[in-house]
Homo-oligomer: A and B are copies of this chain.
């Protein structure tokens, strides 16, 4: 959230809240301004366009994801623990900020604009790359099976993570994501461990 003024941060936060509540489709300038208690034109003092707000949201998620990975990385544990921490950190983030899922999984919506879809792809790439790195470390230490490439394993782990989050959202958040995610992790661990 560096490089953003206080008002910009407010706008970003309100937007995230609105996305969580009503979905990206119902994120309108009118809604944002109403929630902030200001008028619509006032928004344009802080962001040139609605696109810029969405980009700011993505950049916010990007940097917070990056920071989390950074912390995981420097935690100094074994590769498999890092994967686990990353898995659980994601679960926690989604559970705490459902908007994150609404935003990250909105490829469809961002399809319209190359910059938006590019950012979403970038965030996904960062995660996949980090995951790959952790897997590689674990594979080098013979903790994880070596007969499958780290890219494929990343895909499988992240895919499962994403799908459980999607089911959670479709179910209207009706189950405990972190608990069910923990079960899922146990299964994944069994599958990939040596």
Contacts and interface: CB of A to CB of B under 8 A. Distances in A.
Interface of A: 23-26, 102, 105-109, 111-112, 117, 120-121, 124, 145, 147-149, 152-153, 155-156, 158-164, 166-167, 169-171, 183-184, 187-188, 190-192
A158 B163 contact: yes
Contacts of A162: 159, 162-163, 166
A112 B109 CA distance: 14
A120 B105 CA distance: 15
A112 B25 contact: yes
Copies of this protein in the complex: 4
Contact of A191 (B149, B156, B159): B156
Contacts of A190: 147-148
Q: Which of A107, A108, A124, A149 has the most CB of B within 10 A?
A: A108
Contacts of A117: 170
Contacts of A102: 108
27 contacts: A23-B108, A25-B111, A26-B112, A102-B108, A105-B108, A106-B108, A117-B170, A120-B170, A145-B191, A147-B190, A148-B190, A152-B187, A153-B187, A155-B163, A155-B164, A155-B167, A155-B184, A156-B160, A156-B188, A159-B159, A159-B160, A159-B161, A159-B164, A160-B160, A162-B163, A162-B166, A191-B191
Contact of A25 (B105, B109, B184): B109
Nearest to A105: B108
Nearest to A164: B155
A148 to B, nearest CB: 5
Nearest to A187: B152
A59 B149 CA distance: 38
